[in-house]
Amino acid sequence: MTMVEKGKSKLYYLEPLIKRYPSIKKPVGHVHFRKKMLWTVGILLFYFVLTNVMIYGLGETMDMFSEFRAIMAGASGSLMHLGIGPIVTASIILQLFVGAKIIKLDMSDPEDKAIYQGTQKILVIVMIFVEAIPQVYGYLTPSSAFSGAIGTGWAKFFIIIQLAIGSYIVFLMDETVSKWGIGSGISMFICAGVAQAIFTGTLNWMPTTAGEALSISNPPSGVLPKTIYFVSNMSVGEFSGGGFEKLFLHPPNAVLYLIGTVLIFLVVAYLESTSIEIPLAHGRVRGARGRYPIRLIYASNIPVILMSALLANVNMFSLLLWSHPTMSRIPLIGGKWWIGAYHVGETKPFAGGAWYVSRVDGVHQWFLPMLNWDGYKHYVPDHSYWQVIVHVLVYLGIMVFGSILFAKFWIETTNMGPEDVAKQIQNSGMQIPGFRRDPRVLKKVLKRYIPMVTVISGAFVGGLAAIADMIGTVGNTSGTGVLLAVGIIIRLYEEIGKEQMMEMHPVLRGFFGNE
């Protein structure tokens, strides 16, 4: 076994494996903007292709991530079935351990950072099998023809291998975009899935219930075709007798959900443009001045991605403990309603702790029942009035608190803290006017803003995501999904602008940390 220096993290024992671990090589020198765009667009198209490559030999399926499908950036039953779940779960585990100082790593040290990133890659492989095996042995059933030809055991084994290959390809695609493209692959996949769901939820003209003819009780599933159909086929009396309410408030894809989606877009766009600007001046070039913006949403949308993935895993494991043939027999925790109880064939809990932290999906699950309990309690069966209130408060609270926690951990592990930002400004030759050109001084000034803005950033994105979920969105994307998509599009637009600027002015590459 490799000897580890005294004071170093035990993760250094993994160093020989990390060095031999296959990965995407970093480009040598500068990658031109056109080539970065080609890689980014090519990977995105390849992702859409993989979402349509179905798992060979798969029969009946039960999508454990149906409530989080847009955020998990996958497609049920395809090679992308697990989506970004294993990658984000591995990131959550490491961030929690490093942030809580259980694993002692200094992220400003290049060696420690390399060990952190290498360990995350290994953990991704572990999480792929942790998430794939229980699903195949519980909810992803091989087809009778496939299992009859090679045996049930071998059929399940080959399905697990296909899931593992698909998930690992997602990991490699994310790494390729990060090193050779623009932005983040994970973010791009999330945005693509959400955009597709919004498009179909807005314009889909197929009936809500497939296989049945269009009617007032079975209108088109897209919000705009449904509105046109109702206006064309409903009389004034039918509108006043409940048609107006059915069009504007009742799921799926009510008009209110379209309004909510547009409002989320506008609010996120405004918040993304809000920042605190610290004045800077060049230490050697007189008259050269600039500003360093500290965004209100400083931690970006990463905390919400991590929090959503955490809740998706809570839902997955509570479902496994409730209904999995083997895990439901685990003593003390298996088959216990207080952890999470599910109706047969459903993936959203109806009782237990898993229900209280589950997504509040639209006004019909809280606002309408609270407004008129007798008229709308059928939307929340098996629950009382006070349970609906507690559900809303718990979900809102856990999204806000969890996003704050992940925002702090994210800043600490991505060189966005006061000390690292101070070094970046110092290396660019800039300084704050009226202060000595000393990174310690810069760090002291930045400490007044960055920690506070980090907390506000996490609370804002967490609270906004929860409120957006509670309003509802078209395409069943969830408010969190829309919030993420809007933030990702804005950040990608800025990244493209920055790349074009560096292409025209190569001297700026050093300031942005590029070679």
pLDDT for the residue numbered 395: 95
> Percentage of the chain with pLDDT > 90?
24
Contact at 8 Å (CB) between 78 and 50?
Answer: yes
For residue 4, pLDDT over 50 is answered with yes
Superfamily the domain 32-182 falls into: SecY subunit domain (1.10.3370.10)
CB 219 within 8 A of CB 230: yes
Mean pLDDT of the 268-272 span: 83
Question: What would the mean pLDDT of 311-320 be, rounded to a whole number?
Answer: 88
% of the chain with per-residue pLDDT over 70: 93
pLDDT at 413: 77
Residue 3 has pLDDT above 70, yes or no: no
d(CA 268, CA 375): 34
What stretch(es) of the chain map to CATH 1.10.3370.10? 32-182, 209-515
Beta bridge partners of 294: 276
Residue 125's closest CA among 231, 221, 22, 28? 22
Residue where the block lists tokens 């080539």: 35
- Specify which of 255-259, 338-342, 432-436 reaches the highest per-range mean pLDDT: 338-342
Per-residue model confidence (pLDDT) at position 283:
61
Q: What is the mean pLDDT of residues 224-237?
A: 86
pLDDT of residue 462: 92
Which pLDDT score, from 0 to 100, does residue 233 have? 86
Q: What is the pLDDT of residues 142-172, one digit of tens each?
A: 998 999 899 989 999 999 999 999 999 999 9
Considering the four listed CATH numbers 3.40.50.620, 3.40.50.2000, 3.30.2130.10, 1.10.3370.10, the one that applies to the domain covering 209-515 is: 1.10.3370.10
pLDDT at 285: 57
Which of 26-30, 309-313, 398-402, 408-412 has the highest mean predicted lDDT (pLDDT)? Answer: 398-402
Local confidence band at 1 (pLDDT 50, 70, 90 cut-offs): very low
Nearest C-alpha neighbor of 133 from the set 308, 320, 309: 320
Question: DSSP string of 168-200?
Answer: HHHHHHHHHHHHHSSS-HHHHHHHHHHHHHHHH
Give the pLDDT band (50/70/90) at residue 474: confident
